[in-house]
């Protein structure tokens, strides 16, 4: 922080794209809102030194992010049968539903949990 006056906060930050230091002035409420976006909830801890998030693995992380953005990885395979939402007359069980996010995976019911109720 560089300055706080008249309800406005001036601070310095490093621009991630250019690597240069810049200044920004915001209303105090807006500054606090932005600042609190970086505070983790109680019980959470940020791990920056492990796996793909390790600074030494940045090239691998960039490759993984690029692979996730390729359109071929999000297209469903053509060999899957179409989703049949109508009840089948020849089967005792209804067809398994597809994943609502990707449309590829099948959802299998593993367990139904009872609703939580407070103790008596």
Which pair of tokens denotes residue 32?
A: 């606090």
Beta strand spans in the chain (E):
3-5, 8-14, 21-27
Q: Provide the domain limits for residue 62.
A: 43-70
Q: Which pLDDT tens digit goes with each residue over 59-77?
A: 998 898 888 886 654 455 5
In a domain? residue 3: yes
Residues 33 and 50 in one domain: no
> Sheet holding 8-14: strands in order across?
3-5, 8-14, 21-27
Residues 35 and 47 in one domain: no
Please give the model's pTM, rounded to 2 decimal places: 0.41
Residues 2 and 33 in one domain: yes
Residue showing tokens 């209303």:
27
The secondary element (H helix, E strand) that includes residue 74 is helix 71-74
Query: Which pLDDT score is estimated for 32?
Result: 94
Q: Which pLDDT tens digit goes with each residue over 22-61?
A: 999 999 999 999 999 989 988 888 887 788 888 888 899 8
* CA-wise closest residue to 104 among 71, 81, 72, 70: 81
């Amino acid at each position: 922080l560089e300055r706080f006056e008249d309800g406005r906060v001036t601070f310095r930050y490093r621009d991630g794209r250019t690597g240069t230091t810049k200044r920004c002035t915001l209303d105090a409420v807006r500054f606090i809102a932005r600042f609190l976006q970086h505070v983790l909830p109680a019980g959470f801890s940020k791990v920056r030194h492990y796996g793909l998030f390790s600074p030494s693995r940045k090239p691998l992380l960039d490759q993984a992010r690029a692979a996730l953005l390729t359109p071929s990885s999000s297209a469903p395979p053509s060999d899957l049968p179409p989703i049949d939402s109508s009840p089948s007359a020849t089967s005792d069980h209804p067809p398994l539903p597809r994943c609502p996010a990707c449309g590829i995976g099948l959802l299998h019911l593993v367990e139904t949990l009872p609703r939580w109720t407070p103790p008596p």
